[in-house]
Copies of this chain bind each other. A is one copy, B any other.
Amino acid sequence: MQVFETIAAFRTARKGYAALGFVPTMGFLHEGHLGLVRRAKAENGAVAVSIFVNPTQFGPNEDYASYPRDPDRDLALLKDAGADLVFLPTPDVLYPPGFATRIEAGGVADELEGQSRPGHFSGVATVVTKLFNIVQPQRAYFGQKDAQQCAVVRRFVADLDIPVEIVVCDIARETDGLARSSRNVRLTPENRQKAPALYEALQEAARLFRSGERNTDVLEGALRVSLIKAGLPDIDYATVVNADTFRREGSCSENALALLAVKAGAVRLIDNMPL
């Protein structure tokens, strides 16, 4: 496994691979990331991973500074998972003085997270486009946990004709159902105990949907009740949307997607489930 901090060095090494899968990450890797790495390796013969906590996708009052980081542990995990190339730039490598460009992903990017976190998806679209141009993979792998991010990436990759196939992989969960996330380590013991309630709320909404419920108000009410009962009342959103548009519809279509964003103390947790 080779590790590079500069674009030029990475590009030189990249020439040694005809095909490459790619997993962009913000580090502090968990089993969700490692599953993507193993699948990318299996499907492309070789895999590149980037580790970069991208400052431009964090708002001024968000957790950029406190986002967990442990590159040494990440590199050990990536070596075990079979990574071939790792790109580990510092912010000044990707955003040198004079940097002035941003990609505005419209459409799905304007909903939910786009409203809760202004500028977030523009930061994501810009850095992912940069990373794709540096890594030049055949396929890139993303986790369904960031469902809206996956839809945004598909949108701008199609719109900009970027020649990379986007592969979305299932959510990796802890044994109690909590979606794996780098931010989970920052939960207090008490909130860690409450956190599986997100998954349980989604399961409850899925049960209602399977039993025929299509009224969005009712499904959203059930999500909220589950969260509040579990002691997680600080709900950013608990909604059911059309999975193509990420827009709420009064009566759910068949491709309904339930989405949650909840604050558990200082930690913002997200989760989702197709209904």
Query: CB distance B101 to A7 under 8 Å?
Result: no
Q: How many Å lie between the Cα of A107 and that of B101 in the bound state?
A: 8
What are the residues of chain B within 8 A of A163 when measuring CB–CB? 11, 133, 136
A73 → B minimal CB distance (Å): 28
Residues in B neighbouring A136, C-beta threshold 8 A: 163
Q: How many residues of A contact B (CB 8 A)?
A: 28
- Chain B CB within 8 A of A65 CB: no
A103 CA to B100 CA, complexed, in Å: 11
Chain B contacts of A162 at CB under 8 A?
A: 133
Tell me, rounded to whole Å, the shortest Cβ–Cβ distance linking A149 to chain B. Answer: 15
Chain copies in the assembled complex: 2
* Contacting pair B107 A98 (CB below 8 A): yes
B107 touches A104 (CB 8 A): no
Chain B proximity mask over A113-130: 1 for CB below 8 Å, otherwise 0? 000000000000110011
Residues 247-259 of chain A, each 1 if its beta carbon lies under 8 Å from chain B, else 0: 0000000000000
- Asked if A101 contacts B159 (CB within 8 A), the reply is yes
Q: Which residues of B contact A155 (CB under 8 A)?
A: 98, 100-101
Q: Determine how close the nearest CB of chain B comes to the CB of A101; give it in whole angstroms.
A: 4
A161 at the interface (CB under 8 A from B): yes
Decide if A199 is an interface residue (CB 8 Å cutoff): no
Q: Does A106 contact B (CB under 8 A)?
A: yes
A183 at the interface (CB under 8 A from B): no
Q: A105 with B109: in contact, given A133-B162, A160-B129, A160-B133 (CB under 8 Å)?
A: no
